[in-house]
Amino acid sequence: MNYKRITLICGHYGSGKTNIAVNMAFDLKRQFEKVAIADLDIVNPYFRSKDSAPELEAAGVRMIVSEYANSNLDIPALPQEMYAIVDDKELVSVVDVGGDDRGAYALGRLSPAIREENRYDMFLVVNHFRPLTPDAVSTIEVMHEIEAAASLTFTGIINNSNLGAETTAEDVLASQAYAEEIARLSGLPVVLTTVDEKIAASLQGKINNLFPMHLQKRPV
């Protein structure tokens, strides 16, 4: 994948943003020297990129997270280090943005500088199997809410339709029509279709821009 300097990952709660952000961080590190993953999710403290801290740090990926992540405290504030995303022009970052419009409000603090530099992609993560985004129209509504809160516009769609560990290749194939309808209504391309690396081989050649992922484990 051809990355911009800043990649913003947004979507509905439970759409799978964190898994994508973590896997993109590893992918970025194979292409760039200075890479960071930033956890902008100040809404949900329970499933965060910090859960993969040992692996990310071993790979040389800088982590930018709240000091309260994965603790019993969760303070709705951005760490000062977060501004490195826009200030350090040599840093290539992937940003895990909080769910829905409430999470995207935090991104609004960085959006003027992001727009000015204009070296970013903002991807909408969609999941056909989530109860509040079962069809293209409802998903488009979420998309517009996030754009308004973030003061940024989406540039592409990531189809992350899955049923967790029970996901089959047939489930992923069946979700393509849903993602294509979102693309038609929004005018945005489907830039990636993500899939558990365990079933990726069975989908090779059947889906364009397939992105195999090693799934992050939920904290116990």
The CATH number of residue 181's host domain is 3.40.50.300
Question: Which residues does 19 contact at the CB level (< 8 Å), separation at least 6?
Answer: 160, 194, 213, 215, 216
On whether residue 165 sits in a domain, the answer given is yes
Q: What is the pLDDT of residue 21?
A: 95
Residue 81 inside a domain? The answer is yes
Better-predicted residue by pLDDT, 121 or 215:
121
Q: What are phi and psi of 184, to 5 degrees?
A: -65, -45
At 48 the pLDDT is 65
Q: Which of 80-84, 170-174, 180-184, 208-212 has the lowest mean pLDDT?
A: 80-84
For residue 21, the one-letter residue type is: A
Please tell me the pTM assigned to this model.
0.91
pLDDT bin (cut points 50, 70, 90) of residue 71 is very low
What's CA 88's distance to the chain center, in Å?
A: 21
* Owning domain of residue 81: 9-213
How many domains does the chain contain in total?
1
Task: Give domain status of residue 134, yes or no.
Answer: yes
Smallest CA-to-CA distance from 15 within 164, 185, 186, 174 is with 164
pLDDT of residue 77: 57
pLDDT band at 166 (very low <50, low <70, confident <90, very high): very high
146-183 in b/e form (b: 16+ CB < 10 A) is: bbebbbbebbbbbbbbbeeeebebebbeebbebbeebb
70 within domain boundaries: yes
3-class DSSP state of 53:
helix
Q: Look over the chain and give the mean of its residue pLDDT values, rounded to a whole number.
A: 89
Position 162 in a domain = yes
Quickly state the pLDDT bin for 66 (edges 50, 70, 90): low
In the prediction, which pLDDT does 78 show?
A: 66
First CA to last CA across the chain, in angstroms?
Answer: 33
pLDDT for 20-36, tens place per residue? 999 999 999 999 999 99
Higher local confidence (pLDDT), 151 or 216: 151
